[in-house]
Homo-oligomer: A and B are copies of this chain.
């Protein structure tokens, strides 16, 4: 169903590029969609990429450019003149065009804008690149169809014929008042089936949801997902219609946010993928490893204070990995559920208490199961004192880890810190330290009392 790039196929194309076999390349390209071609170009070096790009037919070229990885697009565009870039951008929707231009060096931005033939497109782009990244303003496109409330259906259809020149897909028709303020919408369906002389104000739907340009991408994504919207109008502070966001742009935001959460929880601090350079991957991963090292060093200091006890009871060391691992596991489980609940707005945001109680309940149940099992095992294999120490410590650690795994992300969220970022690394390290403390405290207590 879907194109999959294999190394064989890539090699064949690279050979064809090397031998300048245009016929073969064009034949291959004609069977592919823009995102597929972009996947291929992402794997090529600059010379190969720009040779191949020249052979893509004009309709697809702009789409291919959009689908490329950021750094590959940057490389490719650096081989273009400002005029050539402008030609490609003329074929894009305003939001995509603004994204591409925003990535260029500032002096080149102006040159490219000056070369765009469609003056309206140029002014739309100039407006859009001013919005801060990650806001509704930066996500929206200018291409939309709007009509005044006082117009007739037939006049509307005439107007739409004019406006549709610049619009690719027609989702809905926005209705504005005399001051360009958004007051409702008119479905295309309604328009088609209404009498030509009916007025828009008689047939439009006044209940319309919109966002301000300053809303964040995540807010927009949550909003559209929650209310099942395919397109969402964007208004300025005076409620004037300035653009629209479509769900396909938001799908990428949703995917990227989810990917980012998973990376943060895994202790990766930048957005990276397997195709990034070695040092980029390395740099994104070292911070959390250093945090983990500090945790390990603190752990070593805690165990160090029990050195004498360890000489007498070296068997205490046997279960250090178990206590550490279980604390980490329970903490990650708890925080994953909370992070997800926060991201999906399924938590009642204002009360932490009930969540903590429930989580402690889960910790208690699972803690009892685990500690009974480990007691049964250790009392058979090792001696009963060690068994008692391990099982009491395990129960305490699991309950503690449940508490921290819930409390930390909820608190982080209150202070507007991304709970996913803080949770994975922070909770795991903290639980490791606390686990060691509890284990050896319990050990000293039990051995001390019973010996």
Determine whether A92 belongs to the interface, using a CB cutoff of 8 Å to chain B. no
Determine whether A229 belongs to the interface, using a CB cutoff of 8 Å to chain B. yes
Determine whether A422 belongs to the interface, using a CB cutoff of 8 Å to chain B. no
Contact, CB under 8 Å: A337 / B274: yes
Determine whether A238 belongs to the interface, using a CB cutoff of 8 Å to chain B. no
Contact of A254 among B192, B193, B251 (CB under 8 A): B251
CB distance from A64 to the nearest CB of B (A): 13
Contact of A428 among B4, B230, B325 (CB under 8 A): B325
Determine whether A26 belongs to the interface, using a CB cutoff of 8 Å to chain B. no
Chain B residues near A209: list those with CB within 8 A. 33
CB distance from A68 to the nearest CB of B (A): 12
CB contact list, A207-237 vs B, under 8 A: 209, 211-212, 215, 219, 222-230
Contact, CB under 8 Å: A345 / B4: yes
Which of A1, A157, A263 has the largest number of chain B CB atoms within 10 A?
Answer: A1
CB distance from A184 to the nearest CB of B (A): 16
Binds B, one of A16-24, A103-111, A114-122, A357-365: A357-365
CB distance from A11 to the nearest CB of B (A): 11
In the complex the two chains form, what is the Cα distance from A140 to B276 in whole Å?
37
Determine whether A134 belongs to the interface, using a CB cutoff of 8 Å to chain B. no
CB contact list, A281-315 vs B, under 8 A: 281-282, 285-286, 288-290, 292-293, 295-297, 299-301, 303-304, 307, 310-311, 314-315
CB distance from A367 to the nearest CB of B (A): 9
Determine whether A413 belongs to the interface, using a CB cutoff of 8 Å to chain B. no
Determine whether A451 belongs to the interface, using a CB cutoff of 8 Å to chain B. no
Contact, CB under 8 Å: A7 / B164: no
Q: How large is the interface on A (under 10, 10 to 19, 20 to 34, 35 or more residues)?
A: 35 or more
Known: A169-B187, A251-B247. A296 touches B268 (CB 8 A): no
Chain B residues near A77: list those with CB within 8 A. none
Chain B residues near A442: list those with CB within 8 A. none
Determine whether A272 belongs to the interface, using a CB cutoff of 8 Å to chain B. yes
CB contact list, A308-365 vs B, under 8 A: 310-311, 314-326, 328-330, 332-333, 335-341, 344-351, 355, 358, 361-362, 365
CB distance from A209 to the nearest CB of B (A): 8
Determine whether A242 belongs to the interface, using a CB cutoff of 8 Å to chain B. no
Determine whether A267 belongs to the interface, using a CB cutoff of 8 Å to chain B. yes
Contact, CB under 8 Å: B346 / A274: yes
Contact, CB under 8 Å: A296 / B278: no
Contact of A303 among B229, B295, B318 (CB under 8 A): B318
Known: A285-B333, A318-B300, A325-B296. A192 touches B161 (CB 8 A): yes
Can you list 26 A-B contacts with CB-CB less than 8 angstroms, sorted by A residue number? A4-B349, A6-B348, A6-B350, A39-B345, A247-B251, A255-B258, A255-B344, A258-B258, A262-B339, A263-B336, A263-B340, A266-B337, A267-B332, A282-B362, A289-B366, A293-B374, A295-B322, A295-B325, A296-B323, A296-B326, A299-B318, A300-B321, A321-B432, A321-B435, A324-B325, A325-B432
Other A-B pairs, 8, CB within 8 Å; known A6-B348, A224-B251: A1-B219, A169-B189, A170-B188, A192-B192, A230-B230, A266-B336, A289-B369, A325-B429
Give residues in A with beta carbon < 8 Å to B.
1-2, 4-8, 10, 33, 35, 39, 43, 157, 160-161, 164, 167, 169-170, 187-189, 192-193, 209, 211-212, 215, 219, 222-230, 246-248, 250-252, 254-255, 258-259, 261-263, 265-268, 272-275, 278-279, 281-282, 285-286, 288-290, 292-293, 295-297, 299-301, 303-304, 307, 310-311, 314-326, 328-330, 332-333, 335-341, 344-351, 355, 358, 361-362, 365-366, 369-370, 373-374, 377, 424-425, 428-429, 432, 435-436
Closest 8 pairs (CB-CB, A-B): A296-B322, A258-B258, A266-B336, A299-B321, A310-B314, A300-B318, A317-B317, A274-B341
